[in-house]
Amino acid sequence: MKEIKRGAEAIIWLEGDQVIKERIKKSYRLQEIDEKLRKYRTRKEGKLLLEVQRIGVDAPNVSKISEEDFKIKMDYVEGTRLKELFSQASDEEIRRVSELAGKSVGILHKNGIVHGDLTTSNMILKDNRVFFIDFGLGENTSRIENLATDLSVLKEAFRSTHFKHLNPLWDSFIKGYKQTNDNFNKVLETLNDIEKRGRYVRRNE
């Protein structure tokens, strides 16, 4: 196996055409609590990935969920991360792919799933399809505030990483989102409220 990424919560290993996500031990936690948390989060993410595929959104195929080893084994998605794609693609391509992403996120939200870390680093374009990876912070929820927060994270990622293309990216994403989530009005209204609160806090810091 070859280590291809190491984060605060997990190590990603490459083994042939499969990746293994292994949640790592936290020495500052009591061992019993640490193991329970890692088992729970491994189980939750594995189930979310399976559910995401079931509702028709592209994500890595899961071949094994091993709670005892704190590991999820899944297909390696070989494509281009949207983070890199949006830095070099034409305006037309940016709009097209962003709309595709918006459609998929709309399906997630319509089915009560938030990604939790919705950034262009966690989206991969492969065969003209947008795959979503890393659902470690994802959850099942129907709370409008949670759905709007998911979009807020993405908009901030657009603003900080792709500021030159912010307007076409966001407009196209929302165009796609509206096509698949019938509840988009409430979500966007709440997103607007979140942004207003953020501006108020920044003005008063």
Catalytic-labelled residue, pool 34, 69, 75, 117:
117
Structure-token pair, residue 72: 């999820």
Beta 123-126 vs 62-66: how paired, if at all? unpaired
* Cross-strand pairs, 130: 125
Contact 151, 118 (CB under 8 A): yes
Q: At what angle do helices 91-110 and 144-161 cross, to 10 degrees?
A: 160
Look at residues 139, 175, 180 and name the one whose alpha carbon lies nearest to residue 40.
139
117 in active site: yes
- In whole angstroms, give the CA distance from residue 6 to residue 64: 20
- In whole angstroms, give the CA distance from residue 36 to residue 10: 15
Neighbours of 8 (CB within 10 A): 7
Tokens 């940016």 sit at which residue?
94
Cα distances (angstroms) measured from residue 90 to each of 68, 81, 97 = 46, 15, 11
Tokens 């009560």 sit at which residue?
112
Catalytic positions, written as ranges: 117
